[in-house]
Every structure is written in C-alpha cells, then in structure tokens.
Structure 1
C-alpha cells in the first residue's frame, strides 16, 4: 500500500475550503516533523516582513562563522561548505535572487578576508570559483535595471580577488 501524493494545485484547493482552526492544526503537525519546516514557518511568521534586516542578520552569522574558520585546508573547506549550506537554506526561505546575490557577494568578501589565500588545496579554490560563477549567472538573470545595482559590488569583489588571489584569472568571471 502506498500513499497517494497530490500536486500543489489539489492541496491549494483543499486548503481554501478548510476552516482556520483545522489549518493551524495541520501547520503545527507539519512543523513537528522536520526542523527545517519549523525554521521556515518561523521565518514566514516573524522575519519575512523585514527582508533587509533578516539578510543583515544572516550576514553577521556568516561573518561569525568565517571568523571561526580553521587554519587547516581540509577543515576549512568543510566549514565553507557548511556556510554555503546555511546560505542555501536561507535563500530558499527568502526566495529572492537579489538576496541570494547579496549573501553570495558577502560570502566572497569574507572568503577573501578569512580563507587561506596562498593554499594549493584545490577544493578551497573551487568553492570560491563556483560561487563567483553562481553570482555572475544570477546577476545575468536579473532585469537590466536591477543588474546595474549589483554589478559594481560584483566587479569590486573581482577586483579584490584579483589583488589577493594569484591563482584566479578574473577575465573568466567578468560580466
């Protein structure tokens, strides 16, 4: 026996006909099963009204995590991946490309400040390169007016990276 999985349209129609008390009971039951569901529900209820403040709070949390970055390359790469998972989770909550770009640019700035720039450990380098590609692709997907708001920040990040990272060829990552 298997449970039938319904599509979002069917669930949406059913929720529209449900009384508020029963809907609240369903939400609480859903939140009980997974930590990420609770975090998303808490974000939507308490933080979603002020996205800028939430992004600032996430940036400070990321900054703190970068300040605790281990000096050994292997463990630093693991810590950077953990930071990127956290960023991905919060971006999923916010559901905004501009917030994602803002957080990834902040990640790049922190990387340049805290990560070992002279390392030959390839995973550390690849992490930074992949984020540059992700930022560039997301900026290119934005509307032209909004794109010009983020282009100077990205160009500044590339300029700083060119000064601090001898192994990076910024021509490959320009807009």
Structure 2
C-alpha cells in the first residue's frame, strides 16, 4: 500500500464528520507510541510551552541520573538515547526556542558528567556537534533571544 500525499489526506479529512475525525485520531493513537505522545502534546501541553519544557527537563534529569558511568561504551549508548528523546520532544513542539533550551540543558549536563566526556573522542565529538547545532539554531531566532542563548552557549564553550 502506497501512502497518499498530505494534501490529498487533508482534503479527505475535511469531508469527514466530527465523530469520524475523533475515531480516526483515537485509532491513530493506538498504533504507535509516537502518535500517542504527539496527540498528548497537542491536546494537553501545547498551550503552555514553559511547562512542557520543565516537564522534559525533569525527565532528562532522571535519565542523566540513570546513566551507567562504568565505561564510556555504556555512557555513549545512554547519552545517544537521551539525545534521541530530545529530538523527538523538539519535533512535537515545533518551536526553535524549545529545541535550543533542551539542547543547551543537554550540553550543560553532558559537560558536568563524571567521568569527563572530554577523555573520550566519540563523546567529545558528540558534544561539539551539539554546540554547532545550537549555534545554527540560535541564528534563526529573534535578536533578543539570540543574545541570551549566545551567552549560555559561550559559557559552555569556555573552559
């Protein structure tokens, strides 16, 4: 089965009744965890972005505390998993400021990890790639936000 174009799906959805749309959304939510998470964000958290970011930061704190620091191999796996979650949460929000805040928080926690990530080439490279990504995303924001986030970014690059 070939998936239809989004414009064609949109036209078809406009012809559906309210009850049919409700059933389609509920059915969509049953099949994939990501679909359910996106529906949850859109229905319950999209109206308050600050609260959404705070809840994600709590989740990230828990994930950073569960990192297995016995070897760099396990650290890399856990850190990449956390980064994957951040990318997913950012995609739900579709807000550049949310993504920048989460990535800055990720880098701050990464820098504070013990043993130091800078002793491992892969983790060091991952950290610096995220800094480059943050810088590119900051450039697309409003000037006032750019200034604030650039100060945080400079604090991460210093020392």
Question: Which of 48, 64, 77 is matched with 1:50 structurally?
Answer: 48
- The 1:29/1:75 distance shift into structure 2, 3 A limit, reads same
Aligned to 2:131: 132
Report if aligned partners of 1:69, 1:114 keep a CA contact under 8 Å in 2: no
> Which of 1 and 2 has higher RCO (CA within 8 Å, sep 6+)?
1
Give the TM-score normalised by structure 1.
Answer: 0.84
Q: For the residues of structure 2 that align with 1:18 and 1:96, how far apart are their CA atoms?
A: 29
- The 1:118/1:26 distance shift into structure 2, 3 A limit, reads closer
Give unpaired runs (5+ residues) of structure 1: 163-175
3-state SS of the aligned residue for 1:65? helix
Q: For the residues of structure 2 that align with 1:98 and 1:26, how far apart are their CA atoms?
A: 31
Deviations 1:93-129 (A, max 9, x none): 0011110000000001111112422653211111111
Give unpaired runs (5+ residues) of structure 2: none
Deviations 1:63-99 (A, max 9, x none): 1211222221110010000000110110010011110
Structure 1, 85-94 or 133-142: larger mean CA deviation: 133-142
3-state SS of the aligned residue for 1:104? helix
Cα root mean square deviation, aligned? 1.5
**Who wins on radius of gyration, i.e. which is larger?**
1
Equivalent residue runs for 1:90-105 within 5 Å: 90-105=89-104
3-state SS of the aligned residue for 1:141? coil
Q: For the residues of structure 2 that align with 1:116 and 1:26, how far apart are their CA atoms?
A: 48
Aligned residues: 158
Aligned to 2:13: 15
